[in-house]
Amino acid sequence: MMLQVEVHHRFPGLALDISFEAAGGVTALFGRSGAGKTTVANAVAGLVRPDSGQIALNGRILSAPGIWTPPYRRRIGYVFQNTRLFPHMSVRKNLLYGAADDRHLPRVMDMLGIDHLLARHPQSLSGGEQQRVAIGRALLMNPELLIMDEPLSALDPARKAEILPWLERLRDEAGLPILYVSHSVAEVARLADRVVLIDAGRVARIGTPDLLLSDPALAPRLGPREAGGVLTGQVTEHADDGLTAIETPAGTLHLAADVAVGRTVRLRISAEDIVLSTRYPQGLSALNILPAQIDALHTEGAQMLVHLRLKGEAALVARITTRSASAMGLAENVRVFAILKSVALIHHS
């Protein structure tokens, strides 16, 4: 699959000047509220007609000067923030609304775990169940591309935790490219293969979640607590004391995780949860200590972002005070040890 997007569009308060390509997997349009993410998604879906530019999907030009393909002919499924299910219809009828036939219904129901909901109506479902039905309806339209616009923003933390594993399964099993709109670093780090960072109507950076979250130059755009990094590893052992060993290119990490041996996981580390030491620390409760080298330092008032290069070309960003950096004599190429106070298991596949 190849999605090619060039959108130029002006409206009150913002001028969009966006260009990117997406080839399979999950491409996240990420940025703060008001950055222009949803407008780009709507332009791809045909819900907004850009002032200029070109949008093409698998070689089919959907939008260009003198060319306009209406939404219903674009073969794009759209899952909105609000599920937009028909309250007077059963789940089954909602799922099949717009579908050519019901041949793929069993597979979609199994993939999303909604087979037991068919006879019910939307008002009797939880927010997470409603969202899974909305995703199923979009899939049954046999699209070439699925757009998901902030699909978890209206859900409370419990419902988000409920639906995220289903989104992972959708990504891994559907074989369908997904354009995922979000301002949540946690969702993007967990689900995305590629991130298009949009800031004030323009593409600020394109890359993988691990590269973007570990780039100190992007910290102001990500938010005060969102920088840090993502490490990918494989579960190698479950110890008798309940801790799980995860082998990453940067070294072995230990944490409590109920994931089968052999599975691949992503680990998200916040910049605030990294302590630096110029010597290997002794007598600490922290178990996860990784050798690193300082690539760069970025001062932010009384604080400093320290870009760390780890083994295997992995990278993290630590946030410390400028006073601490001065006292420790931190500078580029200085070798340090990164002590991880907290590691979040954010994805398993």
Exposure letters 14-52 (e unless 16+ CB within 10 A, then b):
eebebebebeebbbbbbbeeebbbbbbbbbbbbebebee
- Please say whether the beta carbons of 305 and 321 come within 8 A: no
What letter would DSSP give residue 250? T
Label residue 4 by pLDDT band (50, 70, 90). very high
Dig out the tokens for 294 from the structure.
Answer: 């300082």
- Please say whether the beta carbons of 52 and 65 come within 8 A: yes
pLDDT at 87: 95
Which of 30-44, 114-128, 223-237 shows the lowest per-residue confidence on average (mean pLDDT)?
Answer: 223-237
pLDDT at 166: 87
pLDDT for residue 82 is more than 90: no
Q: What is the mean pLDDT of residues 116-145?
A: 94
- Please say whether the beta carbons of 242 and 256 come within 8 A: yes
pLDDT at 69: 97
pLDDT at 98: 86
Cα(165)–Cα(191) distance, rounded to whole angstroms?
10
Dig out the tokens for 314 from the structure.
Answer: 């992995």
- Going by DSSP bridges, is the β-strand pair 26-30/178-182 parallel, antiparallel, or unpaired? parallel
Q: What is the mean pLDDT of residues 163-169?
A: 87
Helix or strand (DSSP H, E) at 138: helix 127-139
Count other C-beta atoms under 10 Å from residue 345's C-beta.
Answer: 18
Dig out the tokens for 290 from the structure.
Answer: 């990784």
- In the CATH scheme, what architecture does the domain 228-348 have? Beta Barrel (2.40)
pLDDT for residue 314 is more than 70: yes
- Taking only the tens place, the pLDDT of each residue in 281-295 is 988 888 899 999 999
pLDDT at 49: 95
Label residue 345 by pLDDT band (50, 70, 90). low
The candidate with the shortest Cα–Cα distance to 44, out of 79, 76, 22, is: 76
Cα(217)–Cα(197) distance, rounded to whole angstroms?
13
pLDDT for residue 146 is more than 90: yes
The mean pLDDT of the chain is 91
Q: What is the mean pLDDT of residues 173-183?
A: 91
| CB half-sphere exposure, 288, CA atoms < 13 A | 24
- Please say whether the beta carbons of 167 and 177 come within 8 A: no
pLDDT at 13: 84
The candidate with the shortest Cα–Cα distance to 248, out of 280, 277, 290, 216, is: 290
Exposed, middle or buried, 277 (CB in 10 Å: 0-12/13-18/19+)? middle
Domain spans in the chain, listed from the N-terminal domain onward: 3-207, 228-348
pLDDT at 159: 83
Phi, psi at 125, each rounded to 5°: -100, 155
Q: What is the mean pLDDT of residues 329-333?
A: 97
pLDDT at 213: 83
Rounded to whole angstroms, what are the CA distances from 101 to 134, 140, 208?
17, 8, 37
Sequence-ordered list of residues with C-beta below 8 angstroms from that of 116, at least 6 positions apart, any chain: none
pLDDT at 347: 53
Q: What is the mean pLDDT of residues 211-232?
A: 81
pLDDT at 346: 64
pLDDT at 193: 92
The dotted CATH code for 3-207 is 3.40.50.300
pLDDT at 174: 83
pLDDT for residue 29 is more than 80: yes
DSSP secondary structure of 7-66: EEEEETTEEEEEEEEE-SSEEEEE-STTSSHHHHHHHHHTSS--SEEEEEETTEEEEETT
Cα(42)–Cα(20) distance, rounded to whole angstroms?
15
**What is the model's pTM?**
0.85
